[in-house]
Structure 1
Amino acid sequence: MHQKNEISRRHFLRLGAGTIGAALGSASFLSACGGDSISVAPVATPRLGSASNFRDTAGPDGTGYVTTSGAKMKKGVIYRSSALALSAADIATVGTLDIRQVCDLRTPAEIKTQPDAPLAGAAWQNLNVLGAASITPIPTTGATATAFMLSMYRAFVTSDSAHASYRALFTGFAASGENLVFHCTAGKDRTGWATAILHTILGIAGQTILADYLLTNAYSASEISASIAQAQKAGGQNAADMMTALQGAHADYLQAAFDQVTASYGSMTSYIANGLQLDQATLNAIRQRMLV
């Protein structure tokens, strides 16, 4: 039991001591979208060895996601990522993308443990989505880890710190229009909900929003598998099940956030307007910059 608790403690310390807790707005929003995996299409965005989940929010292929009205997202403007503790080679690669803003969605504890590499010409900003929330109790099984993750995703929708952080992310981009990257630790939870908000603002279909969210399971496959194997070896099946729940992107997690939107706001439109307090001018600026 001590071994299994120690595995979970190490994992959450890596994520940051503050971790806790993303129709549209209907329970069936993601129900038609299938399972928890998707094949990676040909990738136009550079793959980074030191940040495996770095990718373009406009999609993994060369064309950009298509909105329900037939417009396309612009490639090469807004990127999403896991932590940017980059190698020298990856710093040079990212330097070719003209990124001017880095929005770090992690807690100060996470940042201290794994600081971002400075990117030349890019301003760095901490937008702490989780605030000062605490982990109590620490999950030790697959079931308790799943419950924790569902709670965290619901908190993305309801917490004041999440509201303030996501509002700052989108108002900042609307004001500057500059290329940016936003990220958390694994690039799937806080980052995944930020991407779902962006895609909703732009009119991307629900099945595409889910498919993009689930791409973490392909981009970070080797890291996820290694973490699960290490947990299995050190703590047995309970530890492996716990790590599977924590490390993977699961459709139920994203659905929990959309369900919370329905419960708290009635629709994504209302959540964006009243929860995030993004006005029409801000939304129009985002769409003008991101759609062709």
Structure 2
Amino acid sequence: MSTHEREPADQHLGEELVRLASADNFRDLAGSGEGHPTADGGRVRRGVLFRSNELQLTDADAHALGSLGITAVYDLRGDHEVEAHPDVPVPGAAWHHVPVGGIPMDEVSGLSSREAALAAMHGVYRAFVEHPAARASFGELLTRMAGTDGAQLFHCTAGKDRTGWAAAVLLGLLGVPDDVVLEDYLLTNTFSTATREKYLALIAEHLGPDKVAVYEAVMVADEAYLRTARAAVEASYGDLRTYVVDGLGVGPSDLERLLARLRA
């Protein structure tokens, strides 16, 4: 398997988690090493949930994912995204389409300034909390995860917004400190550097250098975006648990079952 940058072996899994060459934002929700710390002195369990960008996998990487015991893949992309770049199947895993709206493509193509791009991104993150369809999809995602055995993987296109918000919610519910949740969210900018630079170079070539700053705002994970979604949670629900139970419709027993699986 073609790889770069290996993470430390997890003593509980007894195997090394290998960074995928063909899905650069694939990683364990729990982080590396012993897993993200929680406020009660525990850790997030590794090998339970994985997150990624779209699964445009080589055969070797698809089989590497299969070797992790992944039984379910949840694709958060819209219909047009799935049609343009269908996931490569992961051996042994059932594929589930749980679409969450991102930035509409016609809106992306019409962005005229960095300010417009930033406004669009903040609107996307507010919609994760305020839009009924987005809440229904995130609720379905967490409920399915709670009722499914084995390791599971969720992803969108870049693995940064829809996937990033779902990951931040789960880590927050587990009691991972806010600064660690933010650091984990921002890792997308590190892991996806090569991909982002490639597309920004194409933008500079075809649309002009002045458009790079406009579209860069759409291609990065930004602390301000995450703050917007958290502020929307606080305004409408008060806290993450109420957002998940009342806003997303996840049953309390389902939520507890999922969180228990994620606690080391």
- TM norm structure 1: 0.81
Specify the alignment match of 1:233 in structure 2.
Answer: 205
**How far apart, CA to CA, are the structure 2 residues paired with 1:193 and 1:132?**
14
AA of the residue aligned to 1:91: A
Map residues 221-260 of structure 1 onto 2, 5 A cutoff. 221-260=193-232
* 5+ residue gaps, structure 1: 1-39
Equivalent in the alignment of 1:63: 34
Assess if the C-alpha contact under 8 Å between 1:171 and 1:282 holds in 2: yes
Most deviating of 169-178 and 101-110: 169-178
Partner of 1:120: 91
Q: Deviations over 1:117-147 (max 9, x none)?
A: 1112111100011189674473132221111
For 2:63, the equivalent position in structure 1 comes to 92
Number of residue-to-residue matches in the alignment: 252
Distance 2:134 2:105 in 1: 14
The separation in 2 between residues aligned to 1:120 and 1:215, in whole angstroms, is 27
Q: Is the 8 A contact 2:36 2:44 kept in 1?
A: yes
Aligned equivalents of 2:140, 2:134: Cα separation in 1:
10
What do the CA deviations read for 1:91-126 (whole angstroms, capped 9, x no partner)? Answer: 121121000000000001100000001112111100
- The residue type paired with residue 85 of structure 2 is Q
How far off its partner does 1:235 sit?
A: 2.2
The answer to whether the Cα contact below 8 Å between 2:70 and 2:152 also exists between their aligned partners in 1 is: yes
Q: Take 1:84 and 1:132, find their aligned partners in 2: how far apart are those partners?
A: 20
Supply the distance in 2 between the matched residues of 1:205 and 1:180 (Cα, whole angstroms): 23
CA distance in 2, matches of 1:130, 1:142: 21
If asked which structure has higher relative contact order (CA below 8 Å, sep 6+), I would say 1
The equivalent residue for 2:251 is 279
Tell me, yes or no, if structure 1 residue 49 matches structure 2 residue 21: yes
Query: Which position in structure 2 is the counterpart of 1:212?
Result: 184
RMSD in angstroms over aligned alpha carbons? 1.9
Separation of aligned partners in 2, 1:55 and 1:131: 21
Please name the residue that 2:263 is paired with: 291
* Aligned residues of 2:165 and 2:226 also touching (Cα < 8 A): yes
Tell me, what secondary structure is at the counterpart of 2:208? Answer: helix
Q: CA separation of 1:246/1:136 partners in 2, compared to 1, >3 Å: closer, same or farther?
A: closer
Equivalent in the alignment of 1:11? none
- The alignment-based identity, stated in percent, is 38
In the other structure, the counterpart of 2:45 is: 74
User: Is 1:201 matched with 2:173?
Assistant: yes
1:172-216 deviations in Å (ceiling 9; x for gaps):
111123210000000000000010111122111111111000000
Shift of 1:230: 2.0
Deviations 1:26-61 (A, max 9, x none): xxxxxxxxxxxxxx99455321111100000000x2
Matched, 1:178 2:146: no
Q: Distance in 1 between matches of 2:26 and 2:242?
A: 30
- TM-superposition CA deviations, 1:63-87 (whole Å, max 9, x none): 1011111111111110000000111
Partner of 2:72: 101
